[in-house]
Structure 1
Amino acid sequence: MITLHHLNNSRSQRILWLLEELGVPYQIKRYQRDAKTMLAPPELRAVHPLGKSPVITDDGLTVAESGAIVEYLADRYGHGGLLAPHGTPERLRQNYWLHYAEGSAMPPLLLKLVFQRVARTPAPFFARPVARSIATKVQARFVDPQIALHLDYLEGELGARGWFGGEGFSAADIQLSFPLEAAAARGGLSAQRHPRLADFLARIHARPAYQRALAAGGDYRLG
């Protein structure tokens, strides 16, 4: 049976959603972030040396990295329903989004989170204004424009179709859910500027499998 090593408020939520979309048996092993550092607990290193989530185990295999997990599960258990066959133009497009989500979309969002925390972190009174000034300037001059660039790009990609991977819902949409949810929580994604992306989030959140994944995974907040 598939075991999902699930960390609260993390990328593993979308793997849980994928498992619900596939309708395959699975079990969850839960891990909680440290309340102060927000890091994963050291117990995850017993599963994978990096101690990160998501990680799945299945038939003696350990698979890490969201894109690799999504591709593995969809290829093995999806029967062609969530990823197109290898060698097709549609599959090439879907593979692009599987890599883009973490390779291009997430880095500026992660930087946004880091610099927001730098600005809020307690520091000696003489250092606090300097730290906040640097964090604010980096966000304004580099991070926020990069996030806006990606969101505008993604908004445009939804212009010709309702889904990222093709005419229908696919694993590419599951993979892109996390950066878009993170952008909605702290990266400036708004219905006014990005109506297609806001509609995309509303549609995926309404899917029964997404709702089941929320119920199974517990608290999920990216703000």
Structure 2
Amino acid sequence: MLTVHHLGKSQSERIVWLCEELGLSYEIKHYVRDPVTSLAPPELVGLHPLGTAPVISDGELLLAESGAIIEYIIAKHGNGRLMLGPDHPDYADFIFWWHYANGNFQPNMGRNMVLRRLDVPKDNPMAVRLSGRLASAFALIDKRLGEVPFLAGKEFTAADIMTVFSLTTMRYFMPCDLTPYPNILAYLQRIAAREAYQRAMQKGDPGMPLLLA
């Protein structure tokens, strides 16, 4: 049985959502953040050497890293669905946005989050530089979503699953005003209308207000 080890308010929501989109049979094992540190509990830390979520178990296999997990599940259990192959006309766009999610966008948010938590002055040169990079990242996504309904193009793909966490739940840790980005806001409403997304968030983080606006 495929088991998703899910830490509340974490990137593991991507995996729950993927399983719902693919209509897979799976189990969720919930882990709760420490109320003081907001870090993962010892049970999850001890599960995998990285000590972070998401982690899945599939028989004897333990696998971490959301991108790796999504590729594994789609290849092993999803018959390649939600990934675009090299013969697809939107393949290059898919590959770009698939990698952009955790290769650029999420780290960008993380660096800005750290500076805020360290209370670095906003006019600090590094803070100015990183804040500008984050604004450019949001602007790039907003521009793309003004041209197509989903990041890869006309089709909903795993690139969307990889990206939505940073636009939504990550904002619990790194608040961002999306008002300047109307195309992102419209996109999030399209995501919110997906039944698989609704089921995933209810199963993974029941009662958590969704930051879709």
Question: What's the CA shift for 1:104?
Answer: 0.4
2:20 matched residue in structure 1 = 20
Count of residue correspondences: 208
Identity of aligned residues (%): 39
2:43 matched residue in structure 1 = 43
2:103 matched residue in structure 1 = 103
Question: What's the CA shift for 1:147?
Answer: 1.0
Report if aligned partners of 2:8, 2:31 keep a CA contact under 8 Å in 1.
yes
1:114 matched residue in structure 2 = 114
- For structure 2, the 5+ residue unaligned runs are none
CA distance in 2: counterparts of 1:35 and 1:221, whole angstroms: 18
Of 178, 181, 193 in structure 2, the residue corresponding to residue 190 of structure 1 is 178
Which structure is higher in helix share?
A: 1
Partner SS, residue 43 of structure 1:
helix
1:122 matched residue in structure 2 = none
1:79 matched residue in structure 2 = 79
Partner SS, residue 163 of structure 1:
coil
CA distance in 2: counterparts of 1:151 and 1:42, whole angstroms: 35
Instruction: Give the letter aligned to residue 213 of structure 1.
Output: A
Structure index of larger Rg: 1
Partner SS, residue 47 of structure 1:
coil
CA distance in 2: counterparts of 1:221 and 1:110, whole angstroms: 21
Partner SS, residue 137 of structure 1:
coil
Of 163, 171, 175 in structure 1, the residue corresponding to residue 158 of structure 2 is 171
Distance 1:54-1:135 versus aligned 2 partners, 3 A rule: farther
Greater displacement, 15-24 / 135-144: 135-144
- For structure 1, the 5+ residue unaligned runs are 120-133
Greater displacement, 145-154 / 73-82: 73-82
Partner SS, residue 90 of structure 2:
helix
1:199 matched residue in structure 2 = 186
CA distance in 1: counterparts of 2:10 and 2:170, whole angstroms: 14
Of 181, 205, 210 in structure 2, the residue corresponding to residue 218 of structure 1 is 205
1:129 matched residue in structure 2 = none
CA distance in 1: counterparts of 2:210 and 2:198, whole angstroms: 17
